[in-house]
Structure 1
Amino acid sequence: MPVQYENQYVTVFQSDLYQTTSTVVVTKDMILIVDPTWLPGEIEAIRQHVAENDGGQHKYLFFTHSDFDHIHGWKAFPEAVTIASRGFVDRTNKKKILQEAQDFDDYYYIERSYPVEYPQIDIIIDHDEQTIKKENTSVSFYLAPGHQADGVFAVIDELGILIAGDYASDVEFPFIHHDSEAYKHTVNKLEKVVDEKNIKLLIPGHGKCTTDRDEMRDRIGDSRWYIETLRDEIRQQKRLDVLEAFVDSFRFSRYLREEHENNKAQIQKEYRG
């Protein structure tokens, strides 16, 4: 599996599918595995990396949200303590999510050496700044609804690493599958954390990570602008050319345009109450 970014502590793997990232953070105290996905060979590369760096540390497996592409690898790490939000645990459509995962595997004739199941969660995140600390390593979690209702992002405090889930991407504008106001609130929270926590590395769920703080702020600002401008377009019931140009500026705009239309439908639904 290609490695997009690597330093002394963190390895960011990137799948060939949707530029999806899977992150492993290794310190003397813990190994944190985030959203291992997609293909069996890709997940096996992550598993081998964890095994090679296993010095008896505490192992944690963190799910940023419950989209099926982010939960495929749960059973490949049976020794890890799992982490996700209360919303993740309480999802009422778990069967639908699992069906999407199974449909993916069936469509591409994929066979796995482990079952694909909805993850059982050991540590449930209920509030912002809920923290796991082992000796000299601490991970703080923040609720992040908007893309989905059950999102969470995390900060490895001592290292200045922000694991953003499906936010702050360079290859996607916001995919608003839950609520636009909640998404905007999460974006504002990300901005505050970037500034207050002195973030040195931002890792999105899809696309390239960045160590450039100006780029972090630009991605966050672009996300906020997109949501506000799209809401203006829906309120005015008038197509805004600047918004269309923004969507077309993305590399994979033909696919992304479908998500843009979905966002419109979502905000229209919010306005209808």
Structure 2
Amino acid sequence: MSVQYEDHSVTIFESALHQTTSTVAVTKDVIIIVDPTWLPEEIQAIQKHVNERDSGQRKYLLFTHSDFDHIIGYNAFPEAVTIASRGFAVRSGKKETIQEIKDFDDQYYIQRPYLIDYPKVDIIIDYDEQTIDIGETSVTFYLAPGHQADGVFAVINNLNVFIAGDYLSDIEFPFIHHNSEAYSRTLDKAEKIIGEKEIGLLIPGHGKATTDIKEMKDRLEDSRWYIEALRKEVSETGSYDVLQAFVDSFSFSRYLGEMHQENLQQMRKEEKKNS
């Protein structure tokens, strides 16, 4: 599994699939493992990395949201204390999510050395700025609905690291599986975090991390523009050509074009509901 970023505390692994990131942050107090995924060999590389840096710290396993690709490595770290949002813990459709993992493994003849199961959550995030302090390490959480209903942001305060889940990617525009207005409010929250927390490293769930504040802000504004353009397109007050050109500017535009069509369907559902 490739490593896309590494410093003295943080290692970001990048899967061969969807450029999905799995992050390991190590301090003298804790090891925080975020969304370990996809393939067995990739998850084994994360396990090896954790074991090599284990000097008795408490291990925490953070799930940024409940998409199956982000929970697929759950039972590879049975000793870790799990963290996720209340929505993640109580959501309906857990069996369907597990079936997605099993279908994926069946399709590609994948055998895993651990059981597939929906994560049981030990520490539930209920509100913005909920903070966990372990020794000198402090982690602050924020609810982040929009992509999914059960998303969560995390900021490792003493490292100035912002774990953004499936937001603020350089290779994806917003995928709105839950609600566009909630997504926009979550972007506002991300802007506040970047401004007030003096973020030095932004880690999206897919694509490249960045240490550049301007790049972080550009990703915010691109996401906002896309949602607003999508809304205008659906209400027939905007230009389809401009929006389509934006979608086509991304790599992997065939797949992203399908996601764009799903966003349009989601926005039409919202428009109909609000009319």
Match of 2:252 in 1: 252
Match of 2:236 in 1: 236
User: In structure 2, how many angstroms separate the alpha carbons of the residues matched to 1:159 and 1:81?
Assistant: 20
Q: Structure 1 residue 237: deviation in Å?
A: 6.4
Match of 2:194 in 1: 194
Secondary structure of the equivalent of 2:235?
Answer: helix
Match of 1:180 in 2: 180
Give the letter for the 1:115 counterpart: L
Alignment deviations for residues 76-132 of structure 1 (CA, whole Å, 9 cap, x no partner): 000000000000011110011011010000000000000110000000000001111
User: In structure 2, how many angstroms separate the alpha carbons of the residues matched to 1:225 and 1:67?
Assistant: 25
- Count of aligned positions: 273
User: In structure 1, how many angstroms separate the alpha carbons of the residues matched to 2:112 and 2:244?
Assistant: 41
Q: Structure 1 residue 240: deviation in Å?
A: 2.1
Q: Which moved more, 1:199-208 or 1:232-241?
A: 232-241
Give the letter for the 1:156 counterpart: I
User: In structure 1, how many angstroms separate the alpha carbons of the residues matched to 2:183 and 2:75?
Assistant: 30
CA contact (8 A) 2:229 2:238 kept: no
Q: Structure 1 residue 239: deviation in Å?
A: 4.7
Coordinate RMSD, CA, aligned: 0.8
Secondary structure of the equivalent of 1:236?
Answer: coil
Q: Structure 1 residue 214: deviation in Å?
A: 0.1
Q: Structure 1 residue 26: deviation in Å?
A: 0.1
Match of 1:55 in 2: 55
User: In structure 2, how many angstroms separate the alpha carbons of the residues matched to 1:216 and 1:238?
Assistant: 26
Match of 1:117 in 2: 117
User: In structure 2, how many angstroms separate the alpha carbons of the residues matched to 1:116 and 1:21?
Assistant: 20
Match of 2:97 in 1: 97
User: In structure 2, how many angstroms separate the alpha carbons of the residues matched to 1:28 and 1:71?
Assistant: 26
User: In structure 1, how many angstroms separate the alpha carbons of the residues matched to 2:96 and 2:224?
Assistant: 30
Secondary structure of the equivalent of 1:246?
Answer: helix
Question: Structure 1 segments of 4 or more deviating over 3 A?
Answer: none
Match of 1:128 in 2: 128
Match of 1:77 in 2: 77
User: In structure 2, how many angstroms separate the alpha carbons of the residues matched to 1:259 and 1:73?
Assistant: 25
Alignment deviations for residues 148-206 of structure 1 (CA, whole Å, 9 cap, x no partner): 00000100011110000000000000000000000000011101100100000000000
User: In structure 2, how many angstroms separate the alpha carbons of the residues matched to 1:157 and 1:220?
Assistant: 21
Match of 2:65 in 1: 65
User: In structure 1, how many angstroms separate the alpha carbons of the residues matched to 2:272 and 2:90?
Assistant: 26
User: In structure 1, how many angstroms separate the alpha carbons of the residues matched to 2:214 and 2:252?
Assistant: 24
Please report the TM-score for the alignment, with normalisation by the length of structure 2. 0.98
Q: Structure 1 residue 135: deviation in Å?
A: 1.1
Q: Which moved more, 1:134-143 or 1:229-238?
A: 229-238
Match of 1:41 in 2: 41
Alignment deviations for residues 49-70 of structure 1 (CA, whole Å, 9 cap, x no partner): 0000001011100000000000
Q: Structure 1 residue 272: deviation in Å?
A: 1.0
Secondary structure of the equivalent of 1:59?
Answer: strand
Please report the TM-score for the alignment, with normalisation by the length of structure 1. 0.99
Instruction: List gaps (5 residues or longer) in structure 2.
Output: none
User: In structure 2, how many angstroms separate the alpha carbons of the residues matched to 1:39 and 1:47?
Assistant: 12
Identity %: 66
User: In structure 2, how many angstroms separate the alpha carbons of the residues matched to 1:116 and 1:209?
Assistant: 28
Give the letter for the 2:224 counterpart: R
Give the letter for the 2:171 counterpart: V
Instruction: List gaps (5 residues or longer) in structure 1.
Output: none
Match of 1:86 in 2: 86
Q: Structure 1 residue 271: deviation in Å?
A: 1.1
1:11 is the counterpart of 2:11:
yes
Match of 1:159 in 2: 159
Secondary structure of the equivalent of 1:13?
Answer: strand
Give the letter for the 1:166 counterpart: D
Match of 2:138 in 1: 138
User: In structure 1, how many angstroms separate the alpha carbons of the residues matched to 2:152 and 2:92?
Assistant: 18
Match of 2:262 in 1: 262
